[in-house]
Structure 1
Amino acid sequence: MFDFILGNTVFTKTIMTCCFIGILSWSVLTISYRSMIRATSRIGQTKKKWLVSLKKKYEDYHEMDIKVNNVETFVDKYFRKKRVCGFPCAFWRTLYRLAIAACAITGAAGALAVSQGGGELTSVIIIYLTGVIAVFSLIFLDILLRADAKEHRIIMNINDYLQNVLENSIAGQEVDLENGTTREQRRRLLRYARENTKKKAKDEPVSLEEKKVLEDVLQEFFA
């Protein structure tokens, strides 16, 4: 039967070609989704360029005081632009579905054409069954792929990192910077107050007890 399929009409060869294209698309998506899920589950450690670029872009928005109101939309738009072998994932998914449709149409059209051309019933059945088998095989692979669920998981992994990990990290850096600036300002004020006290001591001498009280107050207020 297999030899007959390979040697019989342009329709069976077209079905085989469409089936090959579908399997190729499925393989590209399967490998890509697996890689993206693994990378997004540990974004902080990954060196994937598209994720590093995403983190940098998000941090740049914070540095420019631009609030990302809807992180999910931000991630979804960025993910849709992710390219696999030069094309976005949507292209490969569309190509896969077109391959399924092409197998179904070619199988039915081939069987009808052979039947109308006076071909043997065996040829008609084999062409039709070849199309049916190709279609159901690709549909089965599509069910195994679970593209929607995997894309959702990838997006949720990125959302979780940006909202819970990176956001807290940026906030912590801002607090540390603010605290460091405040401590430096207090040290300068304390130094300035002490120098001012020394200058006053030359013009208007004060007792050691008064000087000690003044330093204690300054230390308590500015430290």
Structure 2
Amino acid sequence: MNITFIIDTFIKALYGVPVTLGIMVVAILLSFLPALFLALGQIYKVRGVKTFSIVYLAFIRATPPILLILFFYSLFPSLLNQFFKGIGSHIDVFKVNPLYYAFIIYSLMTTGSLSEIIRSALLTVDKGQLEAAQAIGLTTRQAYLRIVFPQALKAALPNLCNLVINIVKGTSLVFVMTIKDITAIARVEAAYGYQYFESYLVIFILYLIICGIIQVLFNFGEKNCNLHRGSHYARS
């Protein structure tokens, strides 16, 4: 085992960490509002939304991530190119940064899981609390922001932690799109001297560290929620 190679590759692979975390953050941000819409649509049985949500979830769960990546990175740009040529446009879709495709792909995958997390978390809050808030003059929006969402957040944190970790691990596939993430950088370094074992070890260590830090941060958030809730009950 080449320790020097491992250290050098580890340092170089660190440059891929912002890309990995960036995809995760953007995916969460872009998917939040659609996921909230789908979750509320299912809870209140909005016509069409519940059916769409069930179909969408079934589709996303049944589709391997690598298939979505190959579609959006290989087939979709070709279809767009044919479309723009058909309308006489000179837009070159092949010059689009593949990172934007990664944002779309991981947002689509995240929306389904996040909607289920939000829905299950909202259902843990007793409906009586919403009705009581409305009875004292709060609007439905104010009741959700002040009463329902804060309580639902605590219930959602464990599942949200798992989702974030799964997204981070899932980004290891973006090397297929020539995006220089952790995996791509380590694989390139391995190709020079065929030291794949050392490179894969570096990838494992980096993801272990990142996922460990995420777990610690979410545990800290859960403890703070418990302390805040405890102090709130003490004051009341």
Larger radius of gyration: 1
- Compare relative contact order (CA 8 Å, sep 6+) and give the higher one, 1 or 2: 2
TM-score (norm 2): 0.28
TM-score if structure 1 supplies the norm length?
0.30
